Amino acid sequence: MFKELSDSYSEISASESDSEEKQYIESGEILGKDGYVWLQKPKAVRRTLMRNIVNETPGPKGNGCQTDTPLKSFELFFDDVMITEIVTWTNQKIENVKTSYTSKPGFLYNTTVTEIRALIGILLFLDATKSSKESTASIWVKDGTGKPICIAAMSQKSFCFLCIAYALTTQTRGPAKS
């Protein structure tokens, strides 16, 4: 008797599921095992809103079109006037710091335009390689795991000293005016 009841129940549930499947198929939808409803036809294409239409061509604009080397691209953002200004203020701060040292370390000297360019280049490189939070000791290690570009550009002590001198320079001058 139990078997007859379960058979009749399975027949009822089977016929109900067949009617549900037909209902979904007629409406253009298919019901997945997990209950997700799939559409048999793609949704109607809507008109693109004006705010989502881009009329400009991608890529560099203005002076950026004429740059064909990384150095020229760098010079678009950091021209000679800006680099000279950084060198002037950094050297002024270095002169103030020199008085606090009794013996003159090898890295304690005035900086040059080339050295500031190298410093900015290293900072950009470290940011691009997501190494900006890495310790300088691991960046300048010479066992093959360090960054050879940084090692070739300047010493670790010079890098740290210039970063500190530049940070002190920006603190004394205040925020840049636009």
Residue range 10-45, pLDDT digits in tens: 444 555 555 555 555 567 788 888 988 888 887 778
Range of the domain at 95: 66-173
Q: If you search the block for the tokens 């198929």, which residue do you land on?
A: 25
CA neighbor of 168 nearest in space, from 71, 80, 70, 96: 96
Into how many domains does the chain fold?
2
pTM of the model: 0.60
Shared domain check, 166 and 91: yes
Shared domain check, 70 and 36: no
Question: Is 139 within a domain?
Answer: yes
Question: Is 1 within a domain?
Answer: yes
pLDDT band at 4 (very low <50, low <70, confident <90, very high): very low
Is residue 153 within 8 Å of 116, Cβ to Cβ? no
CA separation for the pair 130, 124 (Å, rounded)? 10
Question: Is 52 within a domain?
Answer: no
CA neighbor of 123 nearest in space, from 136, 105, 112: 136
Is residue 112 within 8 Å of 87, Cβ to Cβ? yes
Token digits of residue 87: 């060198």
pLDDT band at 141 (very low <50, low <70, confident <90, very high): very high
